[in-house]
Amino acid sequence: MQSIYAYSNLSNNNKLLIDDTGSSHTFRIWAVENEIFKPSHRYSSNVDVFVNPVIAHRLDYLNNSLTKEENNDPIQLFKKSFPDSYEADTAKWNTHRIWTQREWASFCINAWLSTSYTPIEDLKHITFPVVKNWFNTTDLFDTNINVFPDIINRLGLTVTADTATMKANQQQWIEKQIYHNSQHRCNTWVQDILKGNNTTSPCQTILDEAYVQHCLRKQGYEIRCDGLDAFPRTSSELKELLYENSKTDNQ
């Protein structure tokens, strides 16, 4: 929204407002209040622009939601994502300790990812009555791609920014997106743990840690986590805490 605004005749300023967390939410609030844009993370056939999620980056999105919207409060994020089960689950897990928050999150994170960030896998073959402008979230990180001039023109607006300005803004935005590739980094670390490669943890949030714990559980391993408020910083340290889960249904 902000890029379309800044790079078109809607605005007389090509600068983007990105805060220290990499968030554009300040602009979003202003745009909604001034009825310039109506934002939504949901696909519908009458939206002007649709940004399609990428399934390999679902954890990235959840991390951004945690830090940019909920001030690193996983309980608040869970409450918003699962309002019907919030009271029962948090009471059952007694989530006043960091390790219990992580343990609890590791059991629900797969559903969490699926409900919060669901891509339309076959978007290219959907007939759009109105939506002509769509791209994948990862396109925004590709410096060889600039989706905005075509979108601005298709919306009936005029492009007012030059390519150099757009590229410079894109690079500054990318540098602030510290959770991009979180899921990829965590998946790689899980493999390092299983293979015995001693590498440093890539985990930046408690959700990263819960995701790693979830992935290890899928492979038939549990973590001795009672009281483990500080997550291990290397794969070797974490491997020392693993034990096999005899109830796993993995082959």
pTM comes to 0.88
224 assigned to some structural domain: no
143 assigned to some structural domain: yes
230 assigned to some structural domain: no
49 assigned to some structural domain: yes
pLDDT at 131 over 70: no
pLDDT at 245 over 70: yes
Q: Predicted confidence band at 81 (pLDDT cuts at 50, 70, 90)? A: confident
Number of domains, the chain = 1
pLDDT, position 247? 57
190 assigned to some structural domain: no
Residue with tokens 């590739």: 181
Q: Which residue has the higher pLDDT, 63 or 115?
A: 63
Q: Which domain holds residue 15?
A: 2-53+120-175
pLDDT at 125 over 60: no
CB 16 within 8 A of CB 30: no
DSSP letters spanning 143-192 = TT---HHHHHHHTT--B-S-HHHHHHHHHHHHHT-TTTTHHHHHHHHHHH
Largest CA distance in the chain: 63
Helix (H, G, I), strand (E, B), or coil: what is residue 243?
strand
133 assigned to some structural domain: yes
